[in-house]
Structure 1
Amino acid sequence: MPTAARLVSAICLAVLAWFLSELVKPLLPEGTAFGSFNYINVVLGVCAGWSIMGRRAGRGFVQGINNGMTGVAVLILWAIATHSTIEMFRLAMRNRYDGPMEAITAIFLIGSEYGLLIMTPLVMGTAVVGALLSGPAADFAAKHWR
């Protein structure tokens, strides 16, 4: 059911996903074709905000902060999983894997590389600040706009 908290959560995480995408781009290898990188992350931000944060909003300020941290963590995990899968399919179309199990295993290897790549203070600091702002914003929306 649509609520103001779900809408605010979705918007906050979508904006945060865009900013984080822009911060991650310089960390990736030179010559990387980004294509719809930002747009995929924005859609994931909307989905995480709507389904994870929006559903749990309205339980208090501290729970709002926890909710924001959970929503941002889910956003980052979904983004890593999505982009790892996309990269695996790109490599699979070039016949890099001997079978389907090797390709599925590669998703986790690629995801761990991406996870280590984005663990910089700037990216993680921005994610934490975004969580500290978006969680209470969703909580405020849940309490004031019904």
Structure 2
Amino acid sequence: MPSAARLMGAVCLSALAFVLSGMVIPLMPESTDFGYFVPLNMVLGLGIGWVVMGSRAGRGTTAAINNGFAGAFVLMLWGIGVQAAYEMFRRAMRNRYDDPFEALVAVFQIAAEYGLMVATAPIAIALVVGAVICGLLTEFAFNRWP
């Protein structure tokens, strides 16, 4: 059921995805073609904010901060996973894998590489601060507009 908390969680997490995507782009190799990188991450933020954060609002300030951390963690998990799956698919179309199992294993290898690339202090700080803000704003929306 739509609510202000779900909308606020979706918008906040989408904005956080936009900011984090902008911070990740300079960390990747210069030859990287980003294509729909930023819009895809923002759509992931919309969906995760709506489903994960919006549905868990209304439990207090501490739970709101934890809700923000959960939303940010799921956003990073899905973001890295979707981008790794896309990269595997791109490589598979160039016949880089001999069988489907090798391609499936490559998704996890690529995700681990991406995870190590984005594991920097500025991204961690932005993720933590953004998670707290998103959680508190979602809680505020739940309390203000029930």
TM-score, normalising length from structure 1? 0.99
CA distance in 2, matches of 1:25, 1:144: 36
How big is the shift at 1:144? 1.3
- Give 2:89's aligned residue: 89
**Is 1:32 aligned with 2:32?**
yes
How big is the shift at 1:9? 0.3
- AA aligned opposite 1:7: L
CA distance in 2, matches of 1:25, 1:124: 15
CA distance in 2, matches of 1:33, 1:7: 31
**Is 1:112 aligned with 2:91?**
no
**Is 1:49 aligned with 2:52?**
no
- AA aligned opposite 2:44: L
- AA aligned opposite 2:53: M
What is the DSSP-based 3-state SS (H/G/I as helix, E as strand, rest coil) of the residue aligned with 1:33?
coil
How big is the shift at 1:143? 1.1
How big is the shift at 1:24? 0.1
Q: Could you list the structure 1 runs, at least 4 aligned residues long, displaced by more than 6 angstroms after superposition.
A: none
TM-score, normalising length from structure 2? 0.99
Give CA deviations for 1:9-36 in whole Å, capped at 9, x if unaligned.
Answer: 0000000000000000000011211111
- AA aligned opposite 1:80: I
How big is the shift at 1:139? 0.6
CA distance in 1, matches of 2:116, 2:47: 24
How big is the shift at 1:70? 0.3
- AA aligned opposite 1:81: G
CA RMSD of aligned residues (A): 0.5
- Give 2:129's aligned residue: 129
Question: Unaligned stretches of 5+ in structure 2?
Answer: none
- AA aligned opposite 1:115: G
- Give 1:59's aligned residue: 59
How big is the shift at 1:60? 0.2
CA distance in 1, matches of 2:24, 2:124: 10
CA distance in 1, matches of 2:88, 2:123: 24
